Amino acid sequence: MKGRLFGNRYEIVEYLGGGGMAQVYKSWDRLLERAVTIKFLREGLTNDEEFVRRFRREAQAIASLSHPNIVNVYDVGREGETDYIVMEYIDGPTLKEVIRRRGPLPPVEAVNLARQICDALEHAHENKIIHRDIKPHNILLTNSGRVKVTDFGIARSTTQNTMTMDRTIVGSVHYLSPEQARGLPVDEKSDIYSLGVVLYELLTGRVPFQGETPIAVALQQIQEQPQALSEIQEEVPQALEEIVLRALEKSAERRYNNARALREDLEHVFTGTIVGRLPLDDDSPTMRLDLPIPLEKDRVSESNKTPQTEQKAKKVQEESSSPVNWKVLLSSLLLLALIAFASSFAWQRYMNVPEVMLPRVVGMHYREAIEAIQKEGLQVQVEAVHHREVARDLVISQDPEGNRMVKQTREVRLTVSQGPKLHPVPPVTGMTEREAILRLQEADFAYEITEEYSERGAVGTVLSQRPAANTEQPAGTVIELRISKGPQRQGLMPALIGLSAEEAKTLLKPLEVQIEQQEEKSDRHDAGTVLSQDPSANSRVDKGATVRITISTMAEVQIQEQEQKKVTPITLLIPEESSEAPVRILLIQGEQTKEVYAGTHKGGDTVSQQVEYTGQATIQGFINGEKVLERKVE
């Protein structure tokens, strides 16, 4: 495989690995001079429509995404019977390799990785794509520590760690959600469960459920609760354990609503704000609990005391043994009393803040949203971001969510769309179709191809593009490309045999072809009759091509007086499934058989021929050597 060239562009460099469905190679892109990853569907699976469909679905899924935490797809292709996907090359390990090498990760590092995975999933879910196979094996790390999620749309059905139900691959058994294990439909919350398993493994060095068979593990996913993280790793904060356990809830309704909510809790885990896990019989809203988390800098052991700290402590002790200054003491007590009173007053004011109903403003224009929220006496903070689907100035999300009671002092955060981010359209006119598509995909644009005949463009090159090059357009805009098919073909060659030379020239005139005329003596046809033609009737002919016709120069002398010359039209329809079909039409009169037409045609073509005869005759039509017509005429 090494050194082999695919798509006349990608040269195989080395084998990286593979699974039950695909093999992955590092390759070199000769056109753009960069390293890429190529994933090939395994030999033996190319004839399995289900595997081919899943393989192509992965390419379509990732190609529709554009996010720094998701592996980019550059190209897709097919070489012979082999499908392949060209992707971004990541020079780094998988998360599974990191866990095997290092074991449990520090909570801060694990949370940072999980937050990046949340970002990737949030983007995928916004684009209506569910990964369904989140696991450390499908998460790559760059040298800078950035997460790259890969393997969208593919679950390896031929490995022992993959569940298959009714030939539907539902995910890797140690990381699948309870609904996947049951074979039920899944949504975004299934990915959140799988991420919870990954985070559990990052913090403890092992997956929450293990068994001798995939079925045994799947049953645990459905029925059993995972062991507490703090029992395995004492340094896991309680706040973080609560987050993981909520992501691993058996009921999808009790998990986080989306990846963004999970990421926000991960951002607050080391600030003392956690999400309380709902008890099984409690349907109350999620509560946030503020817990004090001691900082390391406040923990000073006796063994860490220095001579300087001991000297300061001694000085304090000496000062404390001096005579009491009653004025200072009384002033201090009075100050403490005032502080306590003020604190109590402030606390009472906080507890007595009225609650108001927070309206739901998602989808509203931001001005109307702000007005509706301020009308309830609430403060508003607005963040503007680019968004492909939500129109400019409309509210994408709000925090807290609407239609709930909140204290009037609560600040409401709105995320408002600035519309899609604008990018300059790259100039692709004059490029080959393949080069143009690659440039547009790299610039985050879609494309639409229209082919047309042209005298000025080589076959397969871009004649024009719309919108025009260098104009600012939103990401994902469809760029219309007109691709040259070369000089236009004028149509089908008419049936000329049996016509007069003048009639033949009249039919050929609209085709703008060159006519080369030959003469041949004949005692069976009138003078000036077309005896043969090249190209044959119903074949395709280009503008400017040469058409050769043979004309009779002698009238027929052996026609019986009682017989008159007759002409009958014959039409044959070539079956659609035929690629190249030989066609023959025979005229049988007495013991004489004459071939009046012979040619080769494509499926769907219609062959028409005027057959000339005298007296009684039989006309036969053959397609692919099989007789399809027999007509007696007189």
Active site residues: 133
d(Cα 175, Cα 132) in Å, to the nearest integer? Answer: 9
* Residue 172 to residue 132: CA distance in whole angstroms: 9
* Other residues' Cβ atoms within 10 Å of the Cβ of residue 282: 10
Q: Is the peptide bond before 535 cis (omega within 30 degrees of 0)?
A: yes
What are the start-end ranges of the E strands in 56-205?
A: 73-79, 82-88, 139-141, 147-149, 162-165, 168-172
DSSP 8-state class, residue 485: -
**Helix, strand, coil abundance in the chain, percent, nearest 5:** 30, 30, 40
Q: Which two tokens stand for residue 28?
A: 């070199």
Whether the Cβ atoms of residue 39 and residue 73 lie closer than 8 Å to each other: no
Q: How far apart are CA 551 and CA 531, in angstroms?
A: 6
* Token couple for 276: 């309380």
Cα dihedral 291/292/295/300 (nearest 10): -140
Instruction: Judge whether 417 and 392 are in contact, CB under 8 Å.
Output: yes
Which of 63, 70, 71, 51 has its CA nearest to residue 169? 51
Among residues 209, 208, 172, 177, the alpha carbon closest in space to that of 193 is found at 177
Sign of CA dihedral 197, 201, 204, 208: positive
CB atoms under 10 Å from CB of 481, counted, come to: 22
Beta strands in 301-445 (DSSP E): 355-358, 379-385, 395-399, 404-407, 411-417, 422-424
* 327-333: Cβ within 8 A, 24+ apart: none
SS3 letters across 15-50: EEEECCCEEEEEEEECCCCEEEEEEEECCCCCCCHH
Structure tokens of 267?
């951002």
Q: Which of 171, 179, 245 is nearest to 214 (CA)?
A: 171
Measured between alpha carbons, how far is 416 from 382 in angstroms, rounded to an integer? Answer: 7
Closest CA to 246 of 223, 222, 262: 262
Q: How far apart are CA 1 and CA 14, in angstroms?
A: 8
Question: Would you state the structure tokens that stand for residue 440, as one six-digit string?
Answer: 């547009």
d(CA 24, CA 174): 23
